[in-house]
Structure 1
Amino acid sequence: MRHFKFNNALVFSPFHIRKNAQIFDFRQFTAVYLDMAINQNGFLRGQVGNLVNRKLGSINVIQTKAGRRIKQSEGTKECSHDFGVASRASFTIRFGLIEIHQNLYDGQMINRLNKQIYRALRSNPDQVAGMMSMDHAVLSRLVGFQFNEKNHMEDYLFLDPKIHLDHNQQLHIQLPEFDIIRAVRMPKKCDKIIMHFQVVDLNFPDQSSEKIKSVEFEMEDFFHVPIAEPQHWIIDCHAVKNKTILVGLNIHYISQHTTTNGTKEYLLNTKDFNTAAIISAFKI
């Protein structure tokens, strides 16, 4: 005689199981032992653990007992709303600055960014829990965020670009004259460096972004020409629509190989090695 084990019960006799549904036909069972369930004319009645047995027409139906609904407290609802605001803002920033992180970030980056945005929200004491908005967040709390925790910008670039927004809403990005070998930490086989700046305008309510401009500074042959000339870019931000500006910086490390067909370049940045950060933020 065939048997099977069901919720700590041993059931004997042929049985029928309808696939993709918890419906069993127990009418042919000759012996059943299921805790406190009762066999009435071949049908099980009663509860066994979190399962409820009942008759539905000519079949025996086994259902999971409905769980108790947990009512959220007002504090829980408020935190849920504010974390949702932070999570949506995180998506907007990641999408807007994709040129900077290039999807080469550590596995915890999204969680870290969510938490940092939540700190920016809470840093304004005028924000009301459960009603927080990125319009009132302290954006300066996002400056210095690293997209790859293993490669902190300050461990690879030993100078600070100067960035400011003047009264005419012109964004200035400046680099001083510097010794490349001493100011930039490079991986092995690196023959060329590109400092890539991206300026974006963010619309947090719509979860959208618009690139204002990207600028680059290339450095190569630095063993023969070790000193980088000063750089100064001016970017017009007067016509930006959403009035929330972030500036990101990424360092591209490139290896060059000379072949009979010319010089080929290979990007050395990987998921485990990518120096990228938010370096400035403004609210116009």
Structure 2
Amino acid sequence: MTTTVITATTQSVRDSLVVARRNLIRMSRIPEMVIFGLIQPIMFVVLFSYVFGGAIPVPGQSSGDPVTYRSFLMAGIFAQTVTFATAGAGAGIADDMHKGLIDRFRSLPMARGAVLTGRTLADLVQTALTLVVLAIVAVIVGWRIHNGVFKALAAFGLLLLLGYAFSWIGALIGLSVRTPEAATSGGLIWLFPLTFVSNAFVPSSSMPSFLRHIADWNPFSATVQAGRQLFGNPRGLVSDAWPMQHPVAASLLWSVLIIVVFRTLAVRKYRSAAA
């Protein structure tokens, strides 16, 4: 029994890596996919830093100081970047479904969940590349880390884990719609309120009471706050909500929970679609 489980797990891992490699090769042959994925977050950094930087105060810091706001902002931009990749993941899976790729994989002796796992792993690699470029741009506009390299790497690890978790939501959306265009729209509709009703761009203390509670318990906010804590950036006024008091633990718990729930749903959806 144990040998069977180990063999099945090994095959699933191997098949997932093969599918991930296939998607990475495809990305390398279509460089505009990567380039366009970099342009949007860079635009957000520049626009928010120089257009809103001097107008949005960070509680507890120098009022209207653009450098302080840029330091406060960057964890939010990083988190927004990894979560917005969800729409692309959903569109890619919907495109594979539309082209009949699922039917081709069905004829192969491979683990059913490997198709989705490989796709999400490839998207994770692309997201990591985007974060590297974005961090370089952030340093250029004045962002700095203050708690050492290891804590900064831990912050980027939490950001990538959140992006990977959200890619499973994108996978489920991609499997649930008929066209890539619908997957892109469906992947963005819920992301905008999730990212803006959070502490990413403004402190949650500035929001009305009912929105503040939503923002404080938002999994996106937990990762943003964890990033600020680990980077040593301004955090604004920290609320009494548990996720804001323990953002690193909250970020890990939210991401793992999202992966467990949505991977299960996505794989089940994939199997029913391929049945």
TM-score by length of 2: 0.24
Structure 1-normalised TM-score? 0.24
Higher strand content, 1 or 2: 1
Q: Which has the higher contact order (CA 8 A, sep 6+)?
A: 2
By percentage of residues, which structure has more helix? 2
